[in-house]
Chains A and B, each alone.
Chain A
């Protein structure tokens, strides 16, 4: 991954030195800046230096901000983490019950409604959802702020108010994904013999659905939550831009536009690490969700 990221960035057109120097800089000034950034060295030499840093836990220094990449990521982590957690909780809380109900009332209006919502959730771009919500909730109704982020330590209430709209925006696609998979998994479980047996025993329908159908459908649902982290990371970039949230998504956009190679490399490694770790946790949770699975 590290090699791929490094090489792709070096093959991308654009010169960080020219960007830093400003519009009226001379070619000689740009050359001097390029040398000061170490970009006049061969790609092999640059890679060796960077790899050496990464192996010692040093993500390097941002060309653009002249700060440690790890420090930059640390500064921007809280907004993204808060947004991702809110979105995750909101999505799971809405999508799983919706999926179960749709499976239970398979073919009914709720099921068809959920399917239509899913298509919409997948198809409508995140920024469109964001602008529509801002127009309605913030501009017309005046209930919530249109942009910005307030740190939890600064003001708890404002922290919550600033996260509601971005979380709803980002959760659309995630709800669509989880709800569809929940519906399909529960629907499959509802056709199994043990469900028929449970109903024959006279168990209440709620218990049949939650204790037997949903419990047996939990593994695919957990899997899709893990896979969806990638969608979440992509969505964070757009959502943070529209709502002016100074998180990792916004940092990624700025770093790409400025050709800030160390920051882009650091962010991609960080996102990859998060993705792998979340999916590892999901894999480990299988043993908890399904006692038949043993590692």
Chain B
């Protein structure tokens, strides 16, 4: 009996020591994780969860070039209508089953029903098949130029590859099975929403040989376990915990605490995001007076970017103005057509508004009071618009109320709206297809505001079909110029949100997002 007890105690001690020796990476993500299906929602937290446990056919590197990931090789027929992808050897789901072409087809089909770029791509797809377990063929009705851009799409919704049995779930229902083939395995039993999410190293994962870069390259894992602390949501408490070494990585440092974090000798600010985010003001094109292009252009002239950035970000090294609606530093960035904003001033805005015949209708501007990342923008917008001659009805509400209200197409007297301001991660808006604000099919548009412009629809269609990179760039410029001309929305400058980590954490790479492979804990 004594021996048994002693043996049990020894075993317990060994297990405890083994657990204590595990390298655990403790991360405070930027928000709560509630939805575990990254195809069902566009929430960035769900996307980041997806990157932990799933893999993708292609990735996008730090220079914004699409690179193969699960794909070993691929070919494109001379008429650009048949694409053949061959999968890498050794790809395996967490349950030990191999990744096959059927899994890929089912995953892409589900993604193609939810994601804006996926929907656009599947508008061209005639059919897909898998002539061999490691091969997938995509037959297009007509050639389109963004097959690889769509499959390597780095931000929501990312075309993650799931087992066929999971991917066959209705695209409008959330999945229940979180089996992936990515570098980490999700520990469902330890998931407590609002408390923590746990991932362990996928020991069977075969990383690519290339160094990590963006969402492409080798996904080597050097820790045993990653814990996302979902309970720690207060900015000051997050920074305190990082300073005390209770956490290893803080995904987003509040701007007001940036200097305090920067001056701490035990904390580093890894350079992981080169393109950052863009602020944006969006008009509701359905409601007067923003159904009038001249009124929208008056706003464009009034909204100089610097005041927004100074008020909201405040830290000079974290923001910059940018004339491009695709975000600066990305392949299609240019200043085409931006003079209306970048070379205007308040006098010009006042003149434009006078010419527009604006009748003094109060502009319902929605201000989220609880979202620190954008809550100061509407105050600046209201002030600038008043200076230009608008009457502004600045309505304060929490972000979730705003999210609900902006989906309404109703007129103002029935709870409608005129304008809201938001922020986009660069990779969501960096080309004319993924940039939701450029979808101008009126009430059929995929994003709130419902702009209508046949010329933009036509130009986007040409962009989708054009294969020549130089011509694509020209088309992207033409689309941007047209967007400024008709005032689809207003870009309000760009910023980076710094990530902070303890100095014993290394292996950060330019990811333009929060990706946790290659990270070492010493």
* Residues 124-149 of A contacting B (Cβ, < 8 Å): 131, 134, 138-139, 142, 145-149
Contact of A24 among B42, B229, B236, B240 (CB under 8 A): B42
Write out, one digit per residue, whether chain B residues 231-260 have a CB within 8 A of any chain A CB (1) or not (0): 111101100110110100000000000000
The answer to whether B173 has its CB under 8 Å from any CB of chain A is yes
Cβ of B231 and Cβ of A250 under 8 Å apart?
A: yes
Given A15-B407, A18-B407, A26-B446: A257 and B370 interface contact (C-beta under 8 Å): yes
CA distance A244 to B195 in the complex (A): 9
Cβ of A241 and Cβ of B41 under 8 Å apart?
A: no
Cβ of B401 and Cβ of A246 under 8 Å apart?
A: no
Cβ contacts under 8 Å, B448 to chain A: 27
Cβ contacts under 8 Å, B234 to chain A: 241-242, 244
Cβ contacts under 8 Å, B156 to chain A: 22, 24
CA distance A241 to B195 in the complex (A): 12
Cβ contacts under 8 Å, A243 to chain B: 237
The answer to whether B422 has its CB under 8 Å from any CB of chain A is yes
Cβ contacts under 8 Å, B73 to chain A: none
Write out, one digit per residue, whether chain B residues 110-128 have a CB within 8 A of any chain A CB (1) or not (0): 0000101000000000000
Given A25-B42, A26-B447, A33-B172: A251 and B237 interface contact (C-beta under 8 Å): no
Given A134-B240, A258-B34: A145 and B428 interface contact (C-beta under 8 Å): no
Cβ of B404 and Cβ of A75 under 8 Å apart?
A: no
Given A64-B34, A147-B246, A257-B398: A242 and B237 interface contact (C-beta under 8 Å): yes
SS class of chain B's interface: helix, strand, loop or mixed? loop
Write out, one digit per residue, whether chain B residues 185-226 have a CB within 8 A of any chain A CB (1) or not (0): 000000011111000000000000000000000000000000
For B405, the closest partner residue in chain A by CB is A13
The answer to whether A196 has its CB under 8 Å from any CB of chain B is no
| Smallest CB separation, A30 vs chain B (Å) | 5
The answer to whether B8 has its CB under 8 Å from any CB of chain A is no
Cβ of A65 and Cβ of B193 under 8 Å apart?
A: yes
* Residues 11-32 of A contacting B (Cβ, < 8 Å): 13-15, 17-27, 29-30, 32
The answer to whether A259 has its CB under 8 Å from any CB of chain B is yes
Cβ contacts under 8 Å, B445 to chain A: 26
Given A29-B114, A246-B192: A13 and B428 interface contact (C-beta under 8 Å): no
The answer to whether A67 has its CB under 8 Å from any CB of chain B is yes
Contact of B232 among A27, A32, A72, A244 (CB under 8 A): A244
Cβ contacts under 8 Å, B43 to chain A: 22-23
The answer to whether B132 has its CB under 8 Å from any CB of chain A is no
CA distance A241 to B232 in the complex (A): 8
Cβ contacts under 8 Å, B398 to chain A: 14, 257
Cβ of B401 and Cβ of A13 under 8 Å apart?
A: yes
CA distance A255 to B156 in the complex (A): 24
Most buried by A among B193, B234, B244, B428: B193
Cβ contacts under 8 Å, A149 to chain B: 231
Write out, one digit per residue, whether chain A residues 272-295 have a CB within 8 A of any chain B CB (1) or not (0): 000000000000000000000000
Cβ of B400 and Cβ of A19 under 8 Å apart?
A: yes
Cβ contacts under 8 Å, B192 to chain A: 75, 246
Contact of A20 among B41, B195, B231, B370 (CB under 8 A): B41
The answer to whether B268 has its CB under 8 Å from any CB of chain A is no
Write out, one digit per residue, whether chain A residues 237-275 have a CB within 8 A of any chain B CB (1) or not (0): 000011111100011001001110000000000000000
The answer to whether B174 has its CB under 8 Å from any CB of chain A is yes
For B119, the closest partner residue in chain A by CB is A26
CA distance A25 to B156 in the complex (A): 10
| Smallest CB separation, B297 vs chain A (Å) | 26
Cβ of A67 and Cβ of B231 under 8 Å apart?
A: no
The answer to whether B412 has its CB under 8 Å from any CB of chain A is no
The answer to whether A36 has its CB under 8 Å from any CB of chain B is yes
Cβ of A25 and Cβ of B237 under 8 Å apart?
A: no
| Smallest CB separation, A145 vs chain B (Å) | 6
* Residues 278-316 of B contacting A (Cβ, < 8 Å): none
* Residues 43-97 of B contacting A (Cβ, < 8 Å): 43, 46
Write out, one digit per residue, whether chain B residues 401-437 have a CB within 8 A of any chain A CB (1) or not (0): 1011111010000000000001000001000000010
For B242, the closest partner residue in chain A by CB is A146
The answer to whether B181 has its CB under 8 Å from any CB of chain A is no
The answer to whether B32 has its CB under 8 Å from any CB of chain A is yes
| Smallest CB separation, A99 vs chain B (Å) | 33
The answer to whether A66 has its CB under 8 Å from any CB of chain B is yes
Cβ of B446 and Cβ of A258 under 8 Å apart?
A: no
Cβ contacts under 8 Å, B397 to chain A: 13
| Smallest CB separation, A16 vs chain B (Å) | 8
Contact of B237 among A24, A36, A72, A146 (CB under 8 A): A146
Cβ of A147 and Cβ of B241 under 8 Å apart?
A: yes
| Smallest CB separation, B49 vs chain A (Å) | 13
Cβ of B231 and Cβ of A14 under 8 Å apart?
A: no
| Smallest CB separation, B115 vs chain A (Å) | 9
Most buried by B among A19, A76, A245: A19
9 CB contacts below 8 A, A to B, read A13-B404, A13-B405, A14-B401, A146-B241, A148-B246, A244-B234, A245-B231, A251-B194, A259-B404
9 closest A-B pairs by beta carbon, nearest first, are A15-B404, A22-B42, A246-B195, A244-B232, A24-B42, A22-B41, A13-B401, A246-B231, A146-B240
